[in-house]
Every structure is written in structure tokens, then in C-alpha cells.
């Protein structure tokens, strides 16, 4: 049984890190490497982790802790962990989530059976209403999964997977530092393209906790910086597929536009007129094949646009994305 590296970024998770760490140290799979990246967390997360480690003396020798000199964000923490990993396969875990105790065992057994570069498991979502099971959509091939991922119709999270680290290293896949939202969609869209074989298991192996009010998903409606990061992540993936064939190019082109439309919805919801105007100018630029994606049936957009007169055809281009990024970062 080969070694697997579990990669865990840590920042602001003192309420969750003990549960996460215990689920990792109690894995039924023995041959593990744990890489925790302390992104200068301001709370007691690291103190709690070190205390929990004392309860697992058989695991302490497998643990590596890397501390950033200053806070650099989720993308940088994931990259740091990837650069430090020494195993042929890795698995990402967010530090406010946790694993079933047989998670790595089940993923590895499936990988050994199939020879897959990527093995995916199902998962549970925990929120204030309770817990529910989420199932990976059906696909019969790497190509089919790829189309689902880049069209944003599959569940794109980077966690709950076993991934061959060769995909990261041979094809120089790293996340652009500063893209801390939708960075997982950017990764998985590239990894699946290069994977020779993909598969999945039926069992739910991952628990995704949505009750962390400081997580990126929780704060995005009120954080324009994350809106911009989502647009930039879409631009990066669109640019990656620009020379990979007309089918992929068309889908990523369309998906990037739809993500831009979602940002208009956030701007409308938050009554951010200046940002909304920036987005409107981009959408009106030159993208005739995507005009219908603006979503006139979106109530947030309808409510906010009562004093705007917009053309009936909306367009956007990759160049316009860059104009938006340059303008909003000033």
C-alpha cells in the first residue's frame, strides 16, 4: 500500500480543527503523510492541533507542519502543501471539514483496482438544517466528466478525491496565488483534462461543514474581492482551453460568461452600482453567442436595473475580463 499525502491548509478554524485532525489521525489506512500549512492563523488552531497530536503518538512521525511567514491565502497554502508532498497520491482536506475513518482506505482500494489517476467519493453537507448526502453526477468516461466540470454542471470541489500527484507536477498545475475562491474549479478543470483514467466510489467519505461563518462561501455575498477572483479563475480556465479544441473552448467560453452573470446578480443584491456598471459594460462588448445568458428572469437583476436601459443583446470577451480586472484592482 503506497503512501498518501493529506494536505490541509489552516486558517481561522479553532472551532473545527480538532474534529478534522482526529478524523485524519484515526484513518484505517496506515501509510499516510500529513502536511498542515499554517497560513499565519490568528487564533488557537495550531495550539489545538499540537495538543491533539499528542493523543496519536503513532502518527506524530508522519506529520509535517509548514508555517507561512505572512498570511498568503488559500491558494498559496494549497500550493505550499503540494510542493512539500512526497507521496505518489494526494488528498485535499479543508480544516473545517472531516473524513469518514475509512475514506483513504476506500479511495486507495478503488485506485488499485482501476489504475485511475483520480478517484472521487460522495460526501455529506452539514448546515444549520441538518445533514444531507450529495452524490457525484453520473459519467462513463474521462471526457464526459471533463465536459461536466468545465460546464460547471458537476460538483467541482477539489476535496473528497484521491489524485495522482504526477498530474500536478508533470503538467505544472498550481493555483495562481491570490485566487482563493473557485480555485478548486480551476484545478479540477485542468487535472481531469490530463488524467488518463478517472473513477469514483459509491460511499460518502467526506463531511463538508457549511456552518463556518468565516469561510469563503459564507462571506462571498458581501466581498467584492471574491467576486473578482471568481471572474479571474474563469478567465484562467477559459485561456487554458483556448487551444485544446473547439468543443472545450466553446464550453469554457460560455461558462465564463455565466459566472460573470452570477457576479452581476451579487452586485444587484448588494446594490453595488459602480461594480454593476463595470459588469454591464463588459457584457455589452462583443459576445453574440452568449447574449441569452444574462438572465432577464433573475429577480435581483430586474429589481436593480429599473433605471437602466440595456440593449437586448449582451456580449463579453476574454479581453473585457482583463479590462474589468485592471479597473477593479486600481
Return the C-alpha torsion angle 53, 54, 59, 60, nearest 10: 80
Give the residue with greater pLDDT, 289 vs 180. Answer: 180
Helix (H) or strand (E) holding 197: none
Asked if 315 and 284 count as a contact pair (C-beta separation under 8 A), the reply is yes
- Rounded to whole angstroms, the Cα distance separating 158 from 220 reads 19
Predicted pLDDT at 184:
87
Q: Which residue has the cell 459509491?
A: 202
* Other CB atoms within 10 Å distance of the CB of residue 141: 10
Are residues 204 and 304 both part of a single domain?
no
Residue after which a domain boundary falls, among 218, 247, 275: 218
Give the residue with greater pLDDT, 172 vs 216. Answer: 172
In the chain, how many H helices and how many E strands? 14, 9
Are residues 64 and 19 both part of a single domain?
yes
Are residues 245 and 205 both part of a single domain?
no
- Rounded to whole angstroms, the Cα distance separating 106 from 216 reads 29
Percentage of residues of the chain with pLDDT beyond 70: 77
Output DSSP code: residue 284.
B
Are residues 203 and 230 both part of a single domain?
no
Domain that holds residue 303: 223-328
Are residues 22 and 164 both part of a single domain?
yes
Are residues 256 and 186 both part of a single domain?
no
Asked if 254 and 234 count as a contact pair (C-beta separation under 8 A), the reply is no
pLDDT tens track for 178-202: 888 888 888 999 999 999 999 999 9
pLDDT tens track for 87-121: 999 999 999 999 999 999 999 999 999 999 999 99
Domain of residue 198, CATH code: 3.90.550.10
Are residues 301 and 155 both part of a single domain?
no
Residue after which a domain boundary falls, among 193, 218, 243: 218
Are residues 42 and 181 both part of a single domain?
yes
Are residues 158 and 234 both part of a single domain?
no
Could you tell me the pTM of the whole model?
0.82
Are residues 139 and 110 both part of a single domain?
yes
Residue 221: pLDDT above 60? no
Residue after which a domain boundary falls, among 218, 240, 261: 218
Nearest alpha carbon to residue 323 among 267, 280, 294, 264: 280
Judged by phi (left if over 0) then psi (alpha if -120 to 50, else beta), residue 326 lies in: alpha
- Rounded to whole angstroms, the Cα distance separating 79 from 319 reads 27
Measured in whole angstroms, how far is the alpha carbon of residue 76 from the centre of its chain? 13
Are residues 180 and 228 both part of a single domain?
no
Poorest-pLDDT segment among 84-93, 122-131, 269-278: 269-278
Nearest alpha carbon to residue 45 among 220, 223, 212: 212
Number of domains in the chain: 2
Give the residue with greater pLDDT, 17 vs 289. Answer: 17
Predicted pLDDT at 303:
42
Quickly state the pLDDT bin for 255 (edges 50, 70, 90): confident
Predicted pLDDT at 284:
59
- Rounded to whole angstroms, the Cα distance separating 158 from 120 reads 9
Quickly state the pLDDT bin for 227 (edges 50, 70, 90): confident
Q: What 3-state class would DSSP assign to 7?
A: strand
Predicted pLDDT at 213:
67
Residue 317: pLDDT above 50? no
- Rounded to whole angstroms, the Cα distance separating 17 from 122 reads 22
Q: What is the 3-class SS of 5-67, one letter each residue?
A: EEEEEECCCCCCHHHHHHHHHCCCCCCEEEEEEECCCCCCHHHHHHHHHCCCHHHHCCEEEEE
Amino acid at each position: 500500500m503506497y503512501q498518501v499525502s493529506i494536505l490541509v491548509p489552516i486558517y481561522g478554524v479553532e472551532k473545527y480543527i480538532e474534529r478534522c485532525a482526529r478524523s485524519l489521525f484515526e484513518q484505517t489506512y496506515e501509510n499516510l503523510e500529513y502536511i498542515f500549512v499554517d497560513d499565519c492563523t490568528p487564533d488557537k488552531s495550531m495550539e489545538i492541533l499540537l495538543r491533539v497530536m499528542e493523543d496519536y503518538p503513532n502518527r506524530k512521525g508522519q506529520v509535517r507542519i509548514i508555517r507561512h511567514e505572512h498570511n498568503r491565502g488559500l491558494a498559496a497554502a494549497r500550493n505550499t502543501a503540494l510542493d512539500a508532498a512526497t507521496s505518489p497520491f494526494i488528498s485535499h482536506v479543508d480544516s473545517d471539514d472531516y473524513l469518514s475513518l475509512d475514506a483513504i482506505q476506500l479511495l486507495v482500494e478503488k485506485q488499485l483496482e482501476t489504475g485511475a489517476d483520480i478517484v472521487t467519493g460522495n460526501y455529506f453537507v452539514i448546515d444549520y438544517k441538518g445533514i444531507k448526502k450529495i452524490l457525484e453526477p453520473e459519467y462513463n468516461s474521462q471526457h464526459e466528466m471533463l465536459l461536466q466540470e468545465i460546464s460547471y454542471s458537476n460538483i467541482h470541489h477539489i476535496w473528497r478525491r484521491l489524485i495522482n500527484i504526477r498530474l500536478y507536477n508533470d503538467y505544472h498545475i498550481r493555483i495562481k496565488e491570490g485566487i482563493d475562491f473557485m480555485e478548486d474549479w480551476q484545478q479540477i478543470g485542468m487535472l481531469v483534462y490530463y488524467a488518463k483514467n478517472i473513477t469514483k466510489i459509491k460511499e460518502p467519505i467526506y463531511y463538508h461543514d457549511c456552518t463556518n461563518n468565516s469561510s469563503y462561501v459564507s462571506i462571498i455575498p458581501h466581498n467584492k474581492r471574491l467576486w473578482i477572483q471568481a471572474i479571474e479563475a474563469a478567465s484562467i480556465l477559459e485561456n487554458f482551453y483556448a487551444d485544446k479544441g473547439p468543443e472545450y473552448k466553446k464550453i469554457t467560453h460560455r461558462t465564463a460568461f455565466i459566472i460573470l452573470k452570477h457576479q452581476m446578480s451579487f452586485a444587484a443584491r448588494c446594490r453595488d452600482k459602480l461594480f454593476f456598471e463595470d459588469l454591464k459594460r463588459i457584457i455589452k462588448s462583443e459576445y453574440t453567442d452568449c447574449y441569452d445568458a444574462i438572465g432577464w428572469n433573475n429577480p435581483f437583476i430586474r429589481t436593480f436595473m429599473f433605471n437602466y436601459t440595456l440593449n437586448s443583446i449582451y456580449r463579453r470577451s476574454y479581453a473585457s475580463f482583463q479590462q474589468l480586472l485592471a479597473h477593479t484592482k486600481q
